[in-house]
Amino acid sequence: MKPADIKAFFAVLALANPKPRSELEFSNNFELLTAVLLSAKATDVSVNKATQKLFLVANTPQTMLALGLEGLQSYVKSIGLYQTKSRHLLQTCQILLEQHDGQIPHTRQALEALPGVGRKTANVVLNVAFGEPVIGVDTHIFRISNRTGLASGKTPMAVEKQLQERIPQEYLSHAHHWLVLHGRHVCQARRPNCKTCSVANYCTFPNKILDSKLP
């Protein structure tokens, strides 16, 4: 995708949704970190369903630790990999209290030092909680970036690097959400809705579909 097309691509997404938001439900930074940690290999819908009840009784590191492992698991057992995630979350709570005064750290290095927090999760927290112009490359962003020609790469890190370099600065702060939402609701994995896609004119994928049908 050419630089002019990239700019137009994001201009269209921005016009349709000027202030995109995560579909995870949270009311403070700790809830955000918890929700993102739980969302690995799980849907936002399943996470929201569990955290709606969980956050009523535990939405700080202190109250989460007070639940204990069995107590926490009773709230999140509907989420995939809940046993491992529960252990990581409680370990994270302990570190937050011991090393960060119960607050969510504002650096990638400190975030990635927390159990269960990888680069994608750290980037999401940095972007959503602190407004950093970074992108957490999940399966949706990885797919849509390679499919559209926005950024190509065989690894999330390679795609992230290209996105950071190619997306115009004025769109970087919201690019993560625009791409996630577009990949989740329009440019889906099995059946991309190219006919109704607002940015199809800047994407190479529809052309490939048309070309494949030519004699």
Catalytic positions are: 120, 138
Which phi and psi (to 5°) does residue 193 adopt?
-85, 70
- CA 174, 177, 182, 183: dihedral to nearest 10 degrees? 130
8 A C-beta contact, residue 213 and residue 194: no
Measured between alpha carbons, how far is 210 from 11 in angstroms, rounded to an integer?
25
Each residue of 20-52: b (16+ CB within 10 Å) or e? bebbbebeebbbbbbbbbbbbebebeebbebbe
> CA of 163: how far to CAs of 110, 115, 118, 170, in Å?
23, 27, 18, 13
Within a 13 Å sphere around the CA of 64, how many CA atoms are in the beta-carbon half? 27
Q: Which position has the token pair 């290095």?
A: 109
Structure tokens at 130: 């602190």
Check if the beta carbon of residue 18 is closer than 8 Å to that of residue 165.
no
Q: Which two tokens stand for residue 110?
A: 């400190």
